[in-house]
């Protein structure tokens, strides 16, 4: 058997990944791959932390009011704000400052060397008129263009170096349903006619720091095929419209997300493969992501690979009672890793996590949607994943789910030190078969409510290990804690072959 291990070195451009293949057999596979993966990801995270820093902003200040902007909350300032940005970039870069006032604008385009700074007494307000958001079509087309028809945003950048947004102020898209009422075609259709708040494409050295982001008409942020991305200390409230994601990162290399708070109607922190480029070298730490959908996710667009990620010290799940919620407080899943468009998702460590108010705490899914946009039309892979030191309460009656398909199994997953509470109350399922739903949109409820386990249900999976894993239920539940169905093999519970308990 060949074990693939990734190691990391520091190069001029940041973190570089190197694949190493080693011949191993028997028990050494189970003993070694997890330890090697953990060590290499911790080294990757340390290297990212040491080398990936916010870029030094030139000491030049460009005040928006000096270029004609009026912060009265009424005047549309798109042209004057763009003049300020253009002048800053032409001078070699610096700070474009919103010192105080409420500045209404349509689409503004960031340029190289520009740091937007919004002070605590200032707001940028998105125009509520769709005509103020002209189409911005990316030079290199991806699934975002061809399938999702995304062309609109409040803040846009493409192919820039050294850009950013910072400050203690607020950017409010004012994208609530009243202002942008178009509903996407069911079940998950085009995002046309509802602008994103931030859309940054193929840029390098991007910093988003400390800003408050409110009420996008669609996704809040989308960072596509960027290199050296830092998102830190931001506060996101996105609970006013359909598809209100909190933070989307797609096909990026060398990423740090830290100290962020996100409350979103749709996916919270979401990694994607629509950029058709491998995303790798990712550190997420010290964040909270609450969602009415999936709090922490890779997918659904999964045309590009995702590997080498360390996620630690986070709180995820449904929305607490003291926060705004559009129509749902429980998350569909706390953590959801999905490969449904042919990608490979591998080498990911999730550690020190709390999952609360989630229908299904952990959802791992391989599907095959036969996406015409995908570079390959064969099922993808989910492998070499570690989940450890996870607690949480008030989760739903669905178990955590590990579901491959007959052509592609979820493989090599370790769960250790997992202690969660769930609703319970389940009875013996009446169904004799559970549909495969191979081409369906992946969600934790896709197999129905009456699954045969209350803790973990597995199908089409191999080499799954559980060590010190307990799921307690608030109501008595007659189902077993662990069930493996449909050609699942090599499942270990505390080192011994699983017997359904």
Task: Please list the ranges in the chain whose pLDDT falls under 50.
Answer: 1-30
| Whole-angstrom distance, CA of residue 167 vs CA of residue 176 | 24
What is the rounded CA–CA span in Å between residue 149 and residue 274? 12
CA–CA gap between residue 231 and residue 326 (Å, rounded): 25
Coil, strand or helix: which one is 343? coil
CA gap 369, 380 in Å, rounded? 11
pLDDT of residue 148: 86
The answer to whether the peptide bond before residue 187 is cis (omega within 30 degrees of 0) is yes
Distance CA 114, CA 117 (A): 9
pLDDT at residue 373 in the model: 75
Yes or no: domain 60-244 corresponds to CATH 2.160.20.10: yes
**Angstrom distances, CA of residue 339 to CA of 304, 342, 344, 371, 403:** 10, 6, 7, 12, 11
Q: Rounded to the nearest 10 degrees, how much is the dihedral formed by the CA atoms of 468, 469, 473, 478? A: -100
Please give the model's pTM, rounded to 2 decimal places.
Answer: 0.93
| Backbone phi and psi for residue 410, each to the nearest 5 degrees, phi listed first | -70, 130
**Model pLDDT, residue 15:** 45
Distance CA 33, CA 384 (A): 8
Other beta carbons less than 10 A from residue 450's beta carbon? 15
Average model confidence (pLDDT) across the chain: 92
pLDDT in tens, 201-234: 999 999 999 999 999 999 999 999 999 999 999 9
CA 98 – CA 34 distance, rounded (Å): 48
The per-residue pLDDT for range 70-121, each reduced to its tens digit, is 999 999 999 999 999 999 999 999 999 999 999 999 999 999 999 999 999 9
pLDDT at 186: 56
In this prediction, residue 56 carries a pLDDT of 98
Alpha helix (H) ranges present in 100-210? 143-146
Please tell me the predicted confidence (pLDDT) of residue 187.
53
């Amino acid at each position: 058997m060949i074990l693939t291990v990734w190691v990391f070195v520091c190069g001029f451009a940041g973190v570089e990944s190197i694949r190493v293949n080693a011949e191993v057999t028997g028990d050494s596979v189970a003993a070694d791959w997890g330890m090697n993966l953990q060590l290499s990801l911790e080294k990757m995270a340390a290297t990212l932390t040491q080398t990936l820093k916010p870029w030094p902003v030139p000491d030049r200040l460009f005040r928006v009011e000096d270029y004609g902007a009026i912060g009265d909350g009424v005047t549309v300032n798109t042209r004057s704000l763009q003049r300020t940005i253009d002048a800053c970039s032409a001078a070699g870069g610096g700070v474009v400052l919103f010192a105080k006032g409420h500045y209404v604008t349509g689409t503004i385009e960031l340029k190289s060397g520009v740091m937007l700074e919004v002070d605590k007494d200032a707001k940028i307000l998105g125009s509520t008129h769709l005509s103020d958001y002209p189409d911005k079509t990316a030079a290199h087309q991806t699934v975002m263009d061809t399938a999702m028809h995304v062309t609109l945003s409040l803040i846009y950048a493409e192919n820039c170096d050294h850009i950013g947004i910072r400050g203690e102020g607020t950017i409010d898209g004012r994208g609530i349903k009243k202002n942008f009422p178009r509903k996407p075609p069911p079940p998950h259709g085009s995002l046309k006619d509802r602008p994103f708040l931030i859309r940054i494409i193929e840029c390098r050295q991007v910093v988003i720091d400390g800003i408050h982001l409110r009420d996008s008409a669609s996704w809040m942020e989308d960072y596509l095929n960027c290199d050296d991305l830092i998102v830190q200390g931001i506060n996101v409230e996105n609970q006013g419209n359909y598809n209100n994601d909190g933070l989307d990162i797609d096909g990026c290399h060398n990423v740090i997300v830290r100290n962020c708070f996100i409350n979103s109607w749709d996916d919270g922190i979401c990694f994607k493969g629509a950029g058709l480029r491998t995303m790798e070298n990712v550190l997420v730490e010290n964040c909270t992501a609450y969602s009415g959908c999936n709090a922490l996710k890779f997918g659904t667009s999964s045309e590009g690979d995702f590997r080498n990620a360390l996620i630690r010290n986070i709180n995820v799940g449904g929305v607490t009672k003291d926060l705004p919620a559009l129509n749902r407080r429980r998350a569909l899943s706390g953590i959801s890793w999905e490969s449904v468009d042919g990608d490979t998702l591998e080498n990911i460590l999730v550690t020190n996590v709390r999952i609360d108010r989630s229908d299904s705490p952990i959802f791992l899914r391989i599907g095959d949607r036969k996406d015409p946009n995908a570079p390959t039309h064969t099922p993808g892979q989910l492998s070499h994943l570690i989940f450890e030191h996870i607690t949480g309460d008030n989760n739903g009656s669905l178990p955590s789910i590990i579901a491959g398909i007959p052509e592609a199994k979820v493989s090599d997953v370790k769960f250790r030190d997992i202690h969660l509470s769930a609703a319970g109350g389940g009875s013996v399922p009446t169904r004799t078969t559970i549909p495969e739903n191979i081409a369906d949109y992946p969600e934790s409820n896709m197999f129905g409510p009456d699954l045969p386990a209350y803790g973990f249900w597995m199908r089409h999976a191999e080499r799954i290990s559980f060590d010190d894993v307990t799921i307690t239920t608030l109501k008595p539940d007659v189902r077993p804690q662990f069930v493996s169905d449909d050609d699942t093999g090599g499942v270990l519970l505390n080192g011994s072959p699983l017997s359904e308990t």
